[in-house]
Amino acid sequence: MNRLPLLLITSLILIAAAGDSTDWTGELVSAWTAACDSDSPATVIVPAGTFFVSSAVLMGPCRSSNIAVHIGGTIVAPASYTSQNRWIAFKNVSGLTVAGGLFDGQGQAVWNCKNAQNECPLGATSLSIENSNNVWLKGVSSVNSEMFHILIHRSRDVLVTGALISAASDSPNTDGIHIEESAGVTVRDGVIGTGDDCISIGPGAADVWIENIKCGPGHGISIGSLGSETMQNGVRNVTVMNIEFNGTENGFRIKTWAKPSDGFVEQVLFRNATMNAVKNPIIIDQHYCPRTTDCPTEACLHLYNGR
């Protein structure tokens, strides 16, 4: 097909639609770079259509603190896995909105490898927000990630609304949203069903608010695992409320390794949940050890002020 040049009209950057196996990584990165270099608010628009993107890290810092990426179509990852740990990432950005779109991670090859207990890469996270602040993920959909669907890492003031996330119930490590080393994160009004945690909250997370989520299948909403390292940041001030669990292994869960650690969990509130066919509605596991062999036995992580 003929490639159309990027069209820059004031603050609008347009990627032309595609429907074949063309790799649109270069166009996406170029559009992002133009928006990032703009002195005024800028918008990258991915219209309806299917776009194959091998891997893209969309870097800041940017001149503008008001950049939007509006996705009207589907962005598709490679079907064969590689050793990369992220697929689409936004890094070092302040003032970002990502709205709409479907991210298809095509993770089945990695799942099959892991389920066969072969030597496999960890898999790529489909959408990462890294070292960024003032970010809104609005109505984003993600299916079949190799590993996490959405990762929020070392970021502040991140809002996730209306996320639709789906993977097979036997897909390993496909957490819907994973939050770590981040503060001021709100997740609300989403539907998440995967083979792992719907939402997981890792070390260094603080001031997290989760509300109005439908979760299932999967492992529920979890804090942890924590305590895998001797020196590790704790988790504080987490509120999870108005959750509907459907056919999950767990409802609310805190999971920690049973070995010496200075990690902690404090100021946690779980409130208002509907649980349908949930195996463990509330579980605190201080002997977390997924491999079940050579497991440590000394529980040292501290839990404070949970309700």
Give residue-wise pLDDT tens across range 130-159.
Answer: 999 999 999 999 999 999 999 999 999 999
CATH (domain of 189): 2.160.20.10
Indicate whether 64 belongs to any domain.
yes
Of the listed 149, 153, 178, 219, which one is catalytic? 219
Q: What is the pLDDT of residue 284?
A: 86
Per-residue model confidence (pLDDT) at position 9: 32
Domains in the chain: how many in total?
A: 1
Does residue 5 belong to any structural domain of this protein?
no
**Pairing state of beta strands 12-14 and 7-9?**
antiparallel
Whether 67 maps to a domain, the answer reads yes
Q: In this predicted structure, what is the pLDDT of residue 130?
A: 99
CB 259 within 8 A of CB 288: no
Which residues in the chain land under pLDDT 50? 1-12
- Scanning the structure block, which residue is given the tokens 């891997």? 55
Task: Specify burial of residue 5 (Cβ count, 10 A radius: 0-12, 13-18, 19+).
Answer: exposed
Q: What is the pLDDT of residue 110?
A: 96
Predicted pLDDT at 257: 66
Residue 215 in domain: yes
Residue 132 in any domain: the answer is yes
> Is 149 one of the catalytic residues?
no
Tell me which residue range forms the domain holding 298.
Answer: 52-306
Q: Does a structural domain hold residue 289?
A: yes
Q: Write out the two tokens for 181.
A: 């080393």
- The rounded Cα 264 to chain-centroid distance in angstroms is 23
Is 300 a member of any domain?
Answer: yes
Is residue 59, in this structure, part of any structural domain at all?
Answer: yes
